[in-house]
Amino acid sequence: MSIAFGPVPSRRLGRSLGINNIPDKVCSYACVYCQIGRTLRMEVERRAFYPPELIFEEAKKKVDNAKARDEKIDYITFVPDGEPTLDANLGEEIDLLRKLGVPLAILTNASLIWHEDVRENLLKFDFVSLKLDAVSEELWKKIDRPHKSLKLEKILEGMLEFRGEFRGKLVTETMLIDGINYSDELEKIAEFLRELKPDVAYIGIPTRPPAEEWVKPAKEEAINHAFQTFAKALGEDRVEYLMGYEGNAFAFTGNIEEDLLSITSVHPMREDAVRELLKKANADWSIVEALLGEGKLIELEYEGKKFYMRKLKSRA
């Protein structure tokens, strides 16, 4: 498994070098829409997964490679196969990665933010994204399917406490899916956002194959309702959609098979993006066919588009 992957195009972060600091798939949630697949190990206790020095060395190689190719990296981003704050070495890893001179970001489900040590780690980042799919217990359990020991009230309190201390860019992400009765939930989320005051509240829909087949993107009416409701609380300039295709600007680092497998282990790629990456590598589609034949890559279809993803245990 590649711990560092990319850089890949990100709708939030420009050109992002990903850090996969959690193995497939250890998480505190089992979200119905997760693009990695089903959670294999539900955990809430922090522990060590990889040596911090290994993570630093992997990232340094990618940064040096990108510099040599004159490729820009906007952020080094913790966006792993599970919940990144489960990593007990996170603080040490951040300190090491600072040496590379690239801003640091993390995408977290915020489930452990009520722990003081987790907040201390998150304060070291330049950009923090917190998941906020629901503020009501019933809906939270239906969409995010949290570990049974977690309490939503404590998580929301932890978010507010973190906001009071954090000086970087704070964003939230709310995923909207079809078939969920949101009722007045969007208004309740908006009230919480008014108190939290994120720099941007993102509204997303599933754009890659989800963990559960029944999951579909919310209808336009629901998305517009969410935008208007959040905008009333925060102002239109601080609410954005997170549902356009991020583009095909994936980096080729010298080994096309390794690049395809490392990127698609956490980031399913659309067919046109795969073809673009092959073109950069002067390679043809037979590479993909070989990886499919070896069972290393799988083909998925979602919303009429073909996606390619590394075959993971959570996708079995």
Region of 314 on the Ramachandran plot (φ > 0 left; ψ -120 to 50 alpha; else beta): alpha
Identify any residues that bridge with 4 across adjacent strands, giving them in sequence order. 19
Cβ atoms < 10 Å from Cβ of 282? 8
What's the angle, vertex CA 126, arms to CA 252 and CA 89, rounded to 5? 80
pLDDT digits (tens, 9 = 90+) for 20-66: 999 888 999 999 999 888 888 999 999 999 999 999 999 999 999 99
Pairwise CA distance, residues 313 & 231, whole Å = 40
Evaluate whether 199 touches 193 at the Cβ level (below 8 Å): no
Tell me, what's the pLDDT at 217? Answer: 87
d(CA 312, CA 81): 10
Q: Rg of the chain over CA atoms, in angstroms? A: 19
Per DSSP, the residues of 55-107 read HHHHHHHHHHHHHHTT----EEEE--SS-GGGBTTHHHHHHHHGGG---EEEE
Stretches where the chain sits below pLDDT 70 are 1, 243-253, 265-268, 302-303, 312-316
Looking at the DSSP bridge assignments, the partners of residue 76 are 17, 104
pLDDT reported for residue 314 = 47
- How far, rounded to the nearest angstrom, does the alpha carbon of residue 113 sit from its chain's CA centroid? 16
- Rounded Cα gap, residues 121 and 95, in angstroms: 10
Residues in the chain: 316
Which residues pair with residue 298 across a beta bridge? 309
Q: What is the pLDDT of residue 150?
A: 98
Domains and CATH numbers, the chain: 4-315 (3.20.20.70)
